[in-house]
Amino acid sequence: MTEQVQVRWAQPGDAAAVADRIATELAKPGQKRIAFTGGSTPIKVLALLQGRPLDWSQVTIALTDDRRVPDDHPASNFGKIHAALGDTGARFERLEEGMAVAPFDLVWLGMGEDGHVASLFPHMNALVRPGPTVIATTPIPLPPEAPFDRLSLNKKALKACGEIILVVTGASKKALLDRVLAGDDRYPVSDFLRGYGPPVTIYWSE
């Protein structure tokens, strides 16, 4: 039976601490599966890991979500992650609509100002699919900075993991998280911080 979500705040919660958490995961024996968030934060964290003696050859990397654009498009999360890690020996698992998703050891989530995680928005068009899978989503309205349809792990796929790390910056996002933890269930992130699911560690910095 899935347990009540346990939430803790990492101290410190900056990019260096996230880098240390990823390095710890890579140091564990055997094959690992990690889902990476998109955006600029993972690239900053991966830059901090350059030069460390890390074995990526035992790691399969998927994205929590991506924009439906070519790999060489500036908005492609896959393109950025592959460019950063493509020569490390890591394996990459592309998101394909409707594909079944195996459980992850670690899921790395970011969060938008509206409380969205992955590409699960407060208002969106999305086809509901059973089980841990990849779904197509279209945010409503389309964000002007990224006006694209998306592919996203659904809630069941994101929760099928050993641990979630939620990496956020800024005072406004901290205030939103405080509201959610106090009982506000209006945001997509609420589904991961309240109710039932894997443990969540929040990495927050200004």
From first to last of its 206 residues, what are the pLDDT tens digits of the chain?
467 899 999 999 999 999 999 999 999 999 999 999 998 899 999 999 988 999 999 999 999 999 999 999 999 999 999 999 988 999 999 999 999 999 999 999 999 999 999 999 999 999 888 899 999 999 999 988 889 999 999 999 999 999 999 999 999 999 999 999 999 999 999 999 998 999 999 999 99
| H helix runs in the chain, sequence order | 15-27, 41-49, 77-85, 155-159, 171-181, 190-193
Which residue is associated with the tokens 């409503």?
140
Give the residue among 103, 93, 200 at the shortest CA–CA distance from 161: 103
Under CATH, to which class is 7-205 assigned? alpha beta
User: How many helices (H) does the chain have, and how many strands (E)?
Assistant: 6, 11
Picking from 131, 125, 126, 68, the residue whose alpha carbon sits closest to that of residue 94 is: 68
Per-residue model confidence (pLDDT) at position 113: 94
Token readout for 132 is 């841990």
Give the pLDDT score at 2: 63
